[in-house]
Chain A
Amino acid sequence: MNGVHDMGGMDGLGVVDSRDPGPFPKAWEARVFALTLAAGSLGRWTLDESRFRREAQPGERYLSMSYYERWFEALTDLLVVHGVISEVELARGRAEGPSPPLAVTPEQMAAVLSRGGPSQRLVSAPPRFSVGDRVRAANFHPHGHTRLPRYARGHVGMVVRRHGAHVFPDCNAHGEGEQPTALYQIAFEAHTLWGARAQSPGLVHLDLWEPYLEPA
């Protein structure tokens, strides 16, 4: 989706405050972080869908919300959309009737975190592009989730590395399965992307899936 989350290259969003207040300046932020990881481990949605729910927050709200506020609103949406909790329960703050105990223990969670969730998959289809190929990022504006930023669309870059096949977020975010697809590291010259404003010499690299690319 062409959302405000896709902010690479935008002006007017301020200067960088390089101070670091630590991961959780407020106690509730730590709880939101942990709730999101623990609820994610129930396996009812994918990481891609959870990213989509964050970026699908209304644009004006997205820009004004703090980081973990975005996480919290997205987590609430995910829990309701997937029927894990009901609107009534959310409003009353109490469970309506029994549900199976599914909570993961601290030990199980530690194993989940140390195992991680690799996105690479073995596929038999050979990748279409080779290192050194010139490719154009598609002029492509899907309504759903995508990881092709607007600032790269329509521009020509070069394949510098092949990552193998990885879970395709555009499908996986919407319950359409993993559909693993070839993933490439593409280098764009800064002047290609930014014209006269480019700071040369410079390159911007993106990791892009095959459906985002066409031969150039």
Chain B
Amino acid sequence: MPHDTHDDEDHGQAPPSDLALRVKALESLLVDKGLIDPSTLDAIIDTYETRVGPRNGARVVARAWSDLGYLERLRTDATAAIAELGFGGRGGEHMIAVENAPGVHNLVVCTLCSCYPWPVLGLPPAWYKSNAYRSRAVIDPRGVLAEFGVSLPRETEIRVWDSTAEIRYLVVPERPAGTEGWDEAALAELVTRDSMVGAGLALSPRGRVG
């Protein structure tokens, strides 16, 4: 994907790019017009860089693995069940949890743009927004999963969820074997961001599964 991770303007070595200058100019104009408060921009960035991220979703999954009553509520009304843990708002107004099980694997995509459940997973990773993922997840899910190092049995049914409306999907990966009796905090450590999109599996107690 055309996502260049080269920090040309952040290290003060090279001159800022044309785009960086245009962004700065637009911000200055909007501040000058009284339409934007720069401290609001800083607060938004801080929220999504440090506060809202996949550890939220990991707590939801760990609770669902540990508490059957919670799992039932997550199945009935995922938005409300997620709100019980204090997560909700922009990008997570209408949540549905989809569960992996033996013989069933779920994979979430947004082919039209980059819809993603922000309150539980944070902002989407570069690959989720990439042309490659958006184009192929629906037609070649096994090929995409292979690029993440995930290979599933031939008979496993793959259910792809294309986020075409404001409904946002959270994958509940299968609970790894060998975690009987683990508490929620320990279980949450096994729940990766990719596993909650379906591009990965939960970690096994001794390392990566699959």
User: A residues touching B (Cβ–Cβ < 8 Å)?
Assistant: 5-11, 13-21, 23-28, 30-35, 37-39, 42, 51, 54-55, 63-67, 69, 72, 75-76, 79, 84-85, 89-90, 93-95, 99-106, 108-110, 112-120, 147-149, 151, 163, 166-167, 169, 183, 185, 190, 193-194, 197, 199, 201-209
Q: Which 5 A-B pairs have the closest CB atoms?
A: A8-B111, A101-B34, A207-B165, A106-B43, A34-B41
Residues of B within 8 A of A208 (CB): 164-165
Interface residue ranges, B against A (CB under 8 Å):
1-5, 7-10, 17, 19-20, 22-37, 39-45, 47-49, 88-94, 109, 111-114, 122-123, 125-127, 129-142, 144, 147-149, 155-167, 193-194, 199
Is the beta-carbon distance between B94 and A35 smaller than 8 angstroms? no
The reply to whether B47 and A113 form a contact with Cβ atoms under 8 Å apart is yes
CB closest residue in chain A, given B157 = A201
Partner of B111, one of A7, A39, A163, A190: A7
**Which residue of the partner chain A has the closest CB to B162?**
A206
13 contacts between A and B (CB under 8 A): A34-B42, A34-B44, A63-B131, A72-B23, A94-B32, A99-B35, A103-B31, A110-B47, A119-B93, A169-B165, A203-B160, A208-B165, A209-B165
Query: A190 to B45, alpha carbons, bound, how many Å?
Result: 39
Q: Contact between B43 and A109 (Cβ–Cβ < 8 Å)?
A: yes
Minimum C-beta distance from B203 to chain A (A): 15
In the bound assembly, the distance between CA atoms of A32 and B67 in angstroms comes to 40
